[in-house]
Amino acid sequence: MKTVLISAPYMLPEMKRFRPVLEAFDLDLITPTVHERLSEEEILVHAGAFDGVICGDDRFTRRVIEACLPRLKVISKWGTGIDSIDRAAANELGVAVCNTPNAFTVPVSESVIGYMLVFSRHLTRLDAEVKSGAWEKIVGRTLAESTMGVVGVGHVGKAVIRRARGFGMKILGNDIIEIEPDFLLEYGVEMTDLDDLLSRADYISINCDLNPSSYHLINAETLSLCKPEAVIINTARGPIVEESALISALQRNALRGAALDVFEIEPLPSDSPLRHMEQVMLAPHNSNSSPLFWERVHWNTIRNLLEGLAIDAGRLDAFKEKYGA
């Protein structure tokens, strides 16, 4: 019998229906209490006791992976982002790393559009004003009057662009790889360098992966290029934005606002100045929220786990029919 650590916070509440599926493949389960993600030390408590893992954004560093050998064969990431896993160490040590590409493109892209609409139409401010007894007409702008800059034109970036184009926005794009010319032509995207994008965009949507080249990509220097009317929207990964620099820019009114679903430290510390800024919208890493897309990821993550453990996943579809939501 093989043992699997289940630490993905979106899957743990569903273990009543997934436990019999996994046990049918002769798997013993370890299901620790998880608050957002497991730290190195929390994983090391179980090091050497499991052959595979279904994880969230747990810290699978080289130290952790080495400690989990020789049993650990596969890290099956629930979702898309695998920046919390030392992929180079896993590859060197013979541990497979799997994920679900394009997992939450639709809900994340809709969140970006939602944030832009709230800022452009002053929806939350108008609501609060009227509820407080005021009757002030605040001038808004349409998205068609605005320019959006998309940093990272991958699956999510493209989905954001498709939706923004429907509102008639002018669209700027930036990426380190060449984007398909037919896509750019169809959606009227002007690809440009980061400095130019930041200096021209009214809304700046961060949609790139977190990697060494994108860590603190948005920092004091790059933020200084932005227009005072600009809004930063980050639904990708927290460390892409240097939080202290963003806070400083907001405090100086060098930016109009920010919408943040992700942070450098999660959960966001209780003493963060961001919690008390009226021009900032915050969410608890929630832009992937969609039971429909969660379900797809649940089953794909299990399939990746089974294949990584060299277990025939042929019966999985039958279990999906029985236990699927």
- Kindly report, residue by residue over 196-228, the tens digit of the pLDDT: 999 999 999 999 999 999 999 999 999 999 999
Q: What is the CATH number of the domain that holds 146?
A: 3.40.50.720
- Token pair 């932005």 is at which residue? 226
Which domain range does residue 33 map to?
Answer: 2-103+290-323
Tokens of 32: 């620790």
Mean pLDDT of the chain: 97
Is 237 among the catalytic positions? yes
285 is catalytic: yes
How far is it, in rounded angstroms, from Cα 76 to Cα 307?
Answer: 10
**What does the pLDDT look like over 263-290, one tens digit per residue?**
999 999 999 999 999 999 999 999 999 9
Average pLDDT for 142-168: 98
With beta carbons less than 8 A apart as the criterion, state whether 268 and 274 touch: yes
In the predicted structure, residue 124 carries a pLDDT above the cut 80: yes
Total number of domains in the chain: 2
308 pLDDT above the threshold of 90 = yes
Residue 157 shares a structural domain with residue 265: yes
Catalytic residue among 37, 155, 285, 298: 285
Same domain, 276 and 151: yes
Q: Given this model, what pLDDT does residue 264 score?
A: 98
Q: What is the pLDDT of residue 188?
A: 98
Query: Do 310 and 189 belong to one domain?
Result: no
* Residues 256 and 128 reside in one and the same domain: yes
Edge to edge, the sheet with strand 74-77 lists 27-30, 2-6, 52-55, 74-77, 96-98
Catalytic annotation, pick one of 237, 242, 243, 298: 237
Count of residues in the chain: 325
Q: Quick one: 78 and 112 in the same domain?
A: no
In angstroms, the CA 131 to CA 249 distance is 30
Digit-coded pLDDT (tens) for 85-110: 999 999 999 999 999 999 999 999 99
User: Which whole number is the average pLDDT over 135-156?
Assistant: 97
Rg of the Cα trace of the chain? Answer: 22
Q: What per-residue confidence (pLDDT) applies to 56?
A: 97
Same domain for 95 and 53: yes
Q: What percent of the chain has pLDDT over 90?
A: 100
* One domain for residues 209 and 301: no
pLDDT for the residue numbered 325: 76
**Helix (H/G/I), strand (E/B), else coil: 30:** strand
Measured from the Cβ of residue 183, the count of other Cβ atoms closer than 10 Å reads: 14
pLDDT, tens digit, 9 for 90 and up, residues 111-120: 999 999 999 9
Its pTM stands at 0.95
Give residue 218's pLDDT: 98
The predicted-structure confidence for 25-68, as pLDDT tens digits, reads as follows 999 999 999 999 999 999 999 999 999 999 999 999 999 999 99
Q: What is the pLDDT of residue 55?
A: 98
- Phi and psi of 15, rounded to 5°? -70, -20
Set 23, 266, 275, 315: catalytic member: 266
pLDDT tens across 148-160, in order? 999 999 999 999 9
User: What's the pLDDT at 67?
Assistant: 98
d(CA 54, CA 100): 12
pLDDT of residue 134 exceeding 90, the answer is yes
Same domain, 197 and 229: yes
Asked whether residue 276 falls in the same domain as residue 317, the answer is: no
Residue bearing tokens 């034109």 = 153
Tell me: do 9 and 97 sit in the same domain.
yes
pLDDT of residue 178: 97
CA distance 206 to 223: 13
Residue type, 273: P
